[in-house]
Amino acid sequence: MNAFSGQIALVTGASRGIGAAVAEALAAQGAHVVLTGRDTKALEAVEQRIFDAGGSATIAPVDLADGDGIVRLANAVAERWKVLDILVHCAAILPELTPVKDIEQTAFSRALTTNVLATQALIARFDPLLKASTDPRFVYLTTSVATAPRAYWGAYAASKAAAEVVVDCYAQETRNIGKLRVAIVDPGATRTKMRAAAYPGEDPQSVKPAETVAKRIVALLGEQFASPHRERVNQS
């Protein structure tokens, strides 16, 4: 039997990379997956792959920097399904890597909006739907630089560190008053478009594919982990 048959999953950043791989892996295990991202054509391609593999999905193009878009998304899910069993938040943007003194304010503001404010907005809007589930789970994808900052990564690291705190606090606030389980997962070095932008000289074959991370996340979603849970996905 498929592990997630009859369950509704929402995956952000589902147009490519880890988000797309997670969406396809969840659909393969029976979940109906709501695919969100900014690139409609890329979302349609993921949706088609899911259909071709015998799964089910719905695309919902959303720019997470648009707070009204998140409201509309939550309202649409609530109207159609009344519940959300799984939320996997993969979406993030990587500002230019630069010394802190040279961080461009507009790009930094967009990173904070997408990586931090949108994370809180997703929690706020989908909390009631998650709590309506009999087995709700929320997985947030982070990065090692959020807890181990490195030179030139200041803008991205700051935004992801702030988002981690938001998610961790949410987990602590909910762990004793319901069934919701929250996990913070660091995918580690993974073959993605974002990774290629950050490490343009790196051989992509030297790091693990997104499917390896997706496999671990889907396995974790089927486990009875304590909330908040933290882990890093290894290379193999």
Report the pLDDT value the prediction gives residue 2, as an integer from 0 to 100. 86
Looking at every residue in the chain, the average pLDDT score rounds to: 95
Burial class (CB in 10 A: 0-12, 13-18, 19+), 135: middle
Asked whether the CA dihedral 167, 172, 174, 180 is positive or negative, the reply is positive
Provide DSSP, 149-197.
--TT-HHHHHHHHHHHHHHHHHHHHHTTSSS-EEEEEE--SEESHHHHH
Question: How many beta carbons lie within 10 A of that of residue 205, not counting itself?
Answer: 8
Asked: is 8-232 a CATH 3.90.1010.10 domain? The reply is no
- Residues annotated as part of the active site: 156
pLDDT < 70 positions in the chain: 1, 236
Specify the pTM. 0.96
Report the pLDDT value the prediction gives residue 236, as an integer from 0 to 100. 59
Classify residue 97 by its DSSP letter: P
Report the pLDDT value the prediction gives residue 67, as an integer from 0 to 100. 85
Side by side, the strands of the sheet bearing 229-232 are 56-61, 32-37, 8-12, 86-89, 137-141, 181-186, 229-232
Report the pLDDT value the prediction gives residue 18, as an integer from 0 to 100. 97
Report the pLDDT value the prediction gives residue 167, as an integer from 0 to 100. 98
Distances from the Cα of 24 to the Cα of 4, 51, 80, 145, angstroms: 12, 10, 21, 27
Query: What residue type is assigned to position 89 of the chain?
Result: H
How far separated are the first and last CA of the chain, in Å rounded?
26
